Amino acid sequence: MIKEYKQHAVNGHESAFLRSGRMFRGFFVKTVSFVGYTVQYGCIAHCAFEYIGEFVSCSGPSMEPTITNHDVVFSERVSRHLCRIQKGDIVIAKSPFDPKMNICKRVIGLEGDKVCTSGPSDIFKTHTYVPRGHVWLEGDNLRNSTDSRSYGPIPYALIRGRVCLKLWPPHSVGVLAESPNGGRIL
């Protein structure tokens, strides 16, 4: 009788041990599975934002009236990768002064183009040529924009994407308007 009791106690202990092992294994498998799915979806999101496009909240007055403070736009990346940026396009680019900051400006000139470098109120107009591999960017609000007139042409590689849609505010959803400074695009 004592022998049976000891055997039953050992078996009971083993089964509790085995149950805790199965619970740990189940928890471990679920955790690894969750981490795997998280990494997969993270990679998909990264590729989508890096190669397809992203949503951008714009701030500052430099693109008024086309884009105002706190407007949300969609910036597609395919045009940049295919080198299809054209004069008149609005782009999101890395700031030449602060690589942690993005700027939103309109392309006024591409490599080889002659661009006006003077301000709208300047009496004497000055011009320059955009060097190879660069673009000339200006804000639509010429009187309140720090752009290529201040820092010169920027390398094409700093362009992050082309703005193709305004998504917010709801009353102005759609394709963006033409430049109010159309005469500056030569």
Count of all residues that appear for the chain in the document:
186
What whole-number distance in Å separates Cα of residue 186 and Cα of residue 182? 8
Considering 75, 79, 105, 148, which one is annotated as catalytic?
A: 105
Whether residue 62 lies in the annotated active site:
yes
Which entry of 33, 57, 59, 62 is annotated as an active-site residue? 62
Tokens of 46: 């990264």
Is 166 marked active-site?
no
Q: Enumerate helices (H) and strands (E) in the chain, giving the number of each.
A: 3, 9
Q: Which residues contact 166 (CB under 8 A, 6 or more apart)?
A: 67, 71, 72, 73, 172, 173, 174, 175, 176
CA distances from 116 to 90, 126, 153, 185 (A): 18, 6, 12, 9
Active site residues: 62, 105
